[in-house]
Structure 1
Amino acid sequence: MAAATRRSQADGEATRLADGRAQHERLADLESEARHLARVAVLLSEFRNTVVASVGPRLAAQAAELFGELTDREYDRLLVDPETYELQISDAGRVYGLDRFSGSEVDLANLALRVAISEHVRFQSGGTVGLLVLDEVFGPLDEDRKARMLQALEQLRGRFRQVLVVTHDAGIKEQLPNALEVVKLAGRRATARVLG
C-alpha cells in the first residue's frame, strides 16, 4: 500500500515537473518574442523620426507658402511643429497657437496644410493626385477671405486635375466655373442639377 501511494505521488510529481518544463519553454518563447517586438518598436520609432525629420520641413515650407498667398502675407509665417504637426502662426515676430486667431485664419491655415500634405503625397508617389475635395471651407470666411479662397482654388487647379468644393453658400456656387446643386426631395431622396 505504501509503495502504491509513493508511486502515485511520484507520478503526480512527474506530471507537475513536465508541466513546469512546458511552462518554462513557453516563457522562454515569450521572452524571445518580447525581445523581437521591443526591437521592432525601436526600429519603427526611428523610422517615424526619420520620416518626420525629412517630411516635416517640406510640409511646413509648402503650407507656409500657400498660407502667405491666401492671407496676402498679413502674417509673418505659418509654422508646422515637426513632432506633432500642430499649426502655429508667427505674427509680428511672436508665435501663437491657432486658438488666438479667428475661424477664417484657422480654416486657411488648415487648408494650407491639407494641400501641402496632398502635394507631398503626389510627390512621394511620383504621380499626380487628381482630385482635391474641400468640404465647407467657406463657412466662417468674410467676403474678402472668400474671394481670396476662390483665387486660391483657381491656383490649385494648376496643381490638381479636379478640385471639388462642397458648400451651402449660394454666392459661392454662382462664382464657380462648374457647379452641381443637390436638391432634396421627399422620402430621403435627392436629385442634382447643373448650374449654368
Structure 2
Amino acid sequence: CNRAEAAFQRAFELRVRLEGLSRLSQALDAKRSLLESREAELLQIETDIADLGFDESAVAAAEGTIADCERNLATAREQKYAATARIGSLKTDIEGETERLSRAEDLARRHEMLAEEIGRLKLTRSLIRDYTDYLLQVVRDRIEEEAGRVLAEITDGRYGTVLLDDDFTVLVNDMGDDYPAERFSGGEQDDIAIALRIALSRFIAEVNQVHDSTFLIFDEIFGSQDEERRSNLLRALRTQEVHFPQILLISHISEVQDEFSTTLVVEMGADQASRVREIE
C-alpha cells in the first residue's frame, strides 16, 4: 500500500509535467523560429558589413585621433586660461601706462606753461634790470639830493648826505664816512626813512606830472622822536606843503595835536562804535 501510494504520487507528478511538455515544445519551436530569424538577420548584417568594407584599424586610428584631440583640447584650454590671465595682466599694465601717459601729458602741458612763465620772468627781469640801470643813472642822484636836504632839515643839519649804492642800500654820511641806516639809532632810522619817503613821493609826483591835489600820509612817525626832533620833523614837513598841499599824520602822541590846522580824534563810544571828533 505504501509503494502504491508513492507510485500514485509519482504518477501524478509525471502527469502534471507531461501536461506542461506540450507548452514547452511550443515554446521551443518559437525559440527555434526566433533563432532562425536572428541568424538570418546576423547573416544579413555580416553581408552588409562586408559590403561596407568596415576596417577595425580605422576605428582604432579614429579613437587615437580622438584621444589626441582631447589632449590638444586640454592643452588649448590651459593655454586659454593662461592667455586670459595674461590679458588681465596686460589690461592692468595698459591702465597703468594710460595713467602714466596722462600724467606725462599733464607734465608736458605744465612744462610748456612753465617755459612760457620762465620766458615772461626773463623778460620781466630784463626790464627790471634795465629800469634799475635807469634808476641808477638818472633817478638816484635826484632822490639822494632831495632825501639829503629833507634829512638835514629834520636833524637840524647833523646829517645832510644820503647815498644809495648799486643795491639801493641807504647810506648816510656821518663825520666823513658813509654808514648803512642800520648803524644809527631807532629815532635816526625813522628820520632817514621819512626823508626817503618824502624824496620818493616828490619824484613819483614829478614823473607822473602830478602837481595839484597831491598829499602825504604818515602813520606814527613821532613815536621814537624827542621833543626837539619832533619840532624839526614838523618844520621839515611844512616845507613840503609847496609840493604836497595836504599832509595827513596819524599819531597817538597828544603833544603834537596843537601843531596842525585840523585835528581829528577817533574815540570809542559807549556802544563800542568808533566816533570821530574834531578838536577846535
Counterparts in 2 of 1:9 and 1:192: CA distance versus 1, 3 Å = closer
Kept in 2: contact 1:134–1:164 (CA 8 A): yes
Correspondence for 1:110:
193
The aligned runs of 1:37-52 (5 Å cut-off) are: 37-52=117-132
Q: Which among 172, 180, 203 is matched to residue 97 of structure 1? A: 180
The aligned runs of 1:111-150 (5 Å cut-off) are: 111-128=194-211, 130-150=214-234
Correspondence for 1:169:
253
Deviation, structure 1 residue 92: 1.6
Counterparts in 2 of 1:82 and 1:64: CA distance versus 1, 3 Å = farther
Greater share of strand: 1
The aligned runs of 1:74-89 (5 Å cut-off) are: 74-83=158-167, 85-89=168-172
Matched, 1:70 2:150: no
Task: Report the count of equivalent residues.
Answer: 195
The more displaced of 15-24 and 144-153 is 15-24
Matched, 1:154 2:238: yes
Aligned residue identity for 1:33: M
Counterpart secondary structure, 1:134: strand
Kept in 1: contact 2:153–2:233 (CA 8 A): no
Counterpart secondary structure, 2:178: strand
Give 1 or 2 for the bigger CA radius of gyration.
Answer: 2
Deviation, structure 1 residue 26: 4.1
Q: Distance in 2 between matches of 1:148 and 1:65?
A: 13
Counterpart secondary structure, 1:163: strand
Deviation, structure 1 residue 111: 0.5
Counterpart secondary structure, 1:75: coil
Correspondence for 1:35:
115
**Deviation sequence 1:76-132 (CA, Å, 0-9, x none):** 51223443x443311122222333323332111111112223223323433356221
Correspondence for 2:14:
none
Note the aligned Cα RMSD (angstroms): 3.0
Counterpart secondary structure, 1:117: helix
Greater share of helix: 2
Aligned residue identity for 1:179: T
- Structure 2 residue runs of 5 or longer lacking an equivalent are 1-76
Counterparts in 2 of 1:194 and 1:82: CA distance versus 1, 3 Å = farther
Kept in 1: contact 2:148–2:160 (CA 8 A): no
The more displaced of 174-183 and 12-21 is 12-21
Correspondence for 1:53:
133
Counterpart secondary structure, 2:248: strand
**Deviation sequence 1:29-64 (CA, Å, 0-9, x none):** 333333222222222222222223333514334323
Q: Distance in 1 between matches of 2:98 and 2:266?
A: 72
Correspondence for 1:193:
277
Deviation, structure 1 residue 9: 6.1
TM-score by length of 1: 0.78
Matched-pair identity in %: 24
Q: Which has the higher contact order (CA 8 A, sep 6+)?
A: 1
The aligned runs of 1:3-18 (5 Å cut-off) are: 5=83, 8=87, 12=91
TM-score by length of 2: 0.58
Q: Distance in 2 between matches of 1:79 and 1:171?
A: 33
Aligned residue identity for 1:144: E
